[in-house]
Structure 1
């Protein structure tokens, strides 16, 4: 078991080491510059997106998850964070297209720089991880399906948020704790 844990951790470290820092910094600046933030993703990518949306809320950002009943319409000055490992998830590409038409900035997070989602988006953050498709350009992994992408996505988005709130001095742990759910 320890060897499997070590291998998974090493895989994630390698993926994160290969992320282009300027892309991550661009996302950080985009979060800071957005009026409101919308997060879109399907399946496991969507779950990681929802986790990030929760962290953004804790940090004091006005954030919404697409598809929820209380999500308002997106507008100019807003940011759509569109997450799709393949970059070809139809609903996410559709959301990205609609957001662009509304004047919002679209920031794709994907493994595929040559994807439909990347083409639609204003900016793209590439996470060079394996997906369930196991394309030749993807790194090898012992993990099934898109686990390597999902885990790398989760940790990278956490790191971007930490960097963002550290640089902006927008909030601290005490304030974030005060925003944590209390109807538990």
Structure 2
């Protein structure tokens, strides 16, 4: 357990605070926020979307039946370790065509999706591809990236709430699901 915690801690230590703050500003500026990602990155996006909803943000997950069309003033927040997933790139193109801003959380800022993004948060973690620039890990596949993204987005959302929300704990709790 300590080895995994140490690995994730090391990745977070090497993640740019400036990039994280910039993403927070994008979240605060957005009219609506759309989260996207495939596989486990998509699950991390859904977790972040839930936290943003608790914080009073107008937020959607792409691919859901109730997700509206993206428009000017909105933000598409994509999570992709490689930054090369074709379905996410198609969503980025749609967002840009609609004059929306795009933010990407990735290990690969020079990727095709990274090149189209207005805001980048580079997570120097290992992915399933095990590229030469990625750190060593004892974990399989993209676990290190997924775990780091979960904690990183949580901290960015906490920072965002501290700098742009007046909701109390009780008000956030009232936003929590009550049909469980």
TM over 0.5: yes
CA deviation profile, 1:81-125 (whole Å, cap 9, x unmatched) = 011111001101110111001000000110001101101111111
- CA separation in 1, counterparts of 2:168 and 2:147? 25
- Quote the residue 1:156 is aligned against: 152
CA deviation profile, 1:101-160 (whole Å, cap 9, x unmatched) = 100000011000110110111111111100000001001000000000000000000000
TM-score (norm 2): 0.98
Matched, 1:107 2:103: yes
Single out whichever of 165-174 and 51-60 deviates more from structure 2: 165-174
- Quote the residue 1:179 is aligned against: 175
- CA separation in 2, counterparts of 1:135 and 1:173? 42
Q: Judge conservation of contact 2:55–2:165 (CA < 8 Å) in 1.
A: no
Single out whichever of 124-133 and 171-180 deviates more from structure 2: 171-180
- Quote the residue 2:56 is aligned against: 60
- Quote the residue 1:117 is aligned against: 113
- CA separation in 2, counterparts of 1:112 and 1:118? 7
- CA separation in 1, counterparts of 2:159 and 2:10? 20
Stretches (4+) displaced over 6 A: none
- Quote the residue 2:41 is aligned against: 45
TM-score (norm 1): 0.96
- CA separation in 2, counterparts of 1:57 and 1:123? 21
CA deviation profile, 1:48-69 (whole Å, cap 9, x unmatched) = 0000000000000000000000
- Quote the residue 1:91 is aligned against: 87
Gaps of 5+ in 1: none
- Quote the residue 1:34 is aligned against: 30
How many equivalent residue pairs? 180
- CA separation in 2, counterparts of 1:145 and 1:168? 36
